[in-house]
Amino acid sequence: MGFTASGFSRALLFASALVVAPQVFAHAHLKAQTPAANTEIATAPSAITLNFSEGIEPKFSGLTVTDSQNQAVKTGPATRSDSDKTQMVVPLEQPLASGDYTVDWHVVSVDGHKTRGSYRFTLK
């Protein structure tokens, strides 16, 4: 009974999936955020709170907030919640004016993997 090219390809694909799958699941993926993505809020937040799928390293994680003119909003240092190692909180050091905002975030999970992303929200 010989190994066909098709059988070899399937075996190679299966072996690749076993190697890659744990790496894909080892990243901290954004699960929730406050203010929520693509929402319009009535009250200016005092902080941006991000919840991830696994614990994060706050020393290597953070975010920037920019307004519709691409001007940065001053923020404090990123901290990790004492009660939830998957939650990052970044205080806003200046009140937000009405308008559109973009949050660009980056985190390093406790196992060393880097993840980044962005989302928008609007303040009435």
SS (H, E, C) 5-60: HHHHHHHHHHHHHHHHHHHHHCCCCEEEEECCCCCEECCCCCEEEEEECCCECHHH
Q: Which residue has the higher pLDDT, 101 or 23?
A: 101
Complete domains list, the chain, with CATH: 28-123 (2.60.40.1220)
Q: Is the dihedral of CA 50, 36, 46, 70 positive or negative?
A: positive
CA 80 to the chain's CA centroid: 13
Per-residue pLDDT band at 7 (split at 50, 70, 90): low
Per-residue pLDDT band at 27 (split at 50, 70, 90): confident
Instruction: Give the span between the Cα atoms of 85 and 79, in whole angstroms.
Output: 10
Task: Provide the greatest CA pair distance for the chain.
Answer: 72
Is pTM beyond 0.85? Reply is: no
> Which of 13-17, 31-35, 55-59, 109-113 has the lowest average pLDDT?
13-17
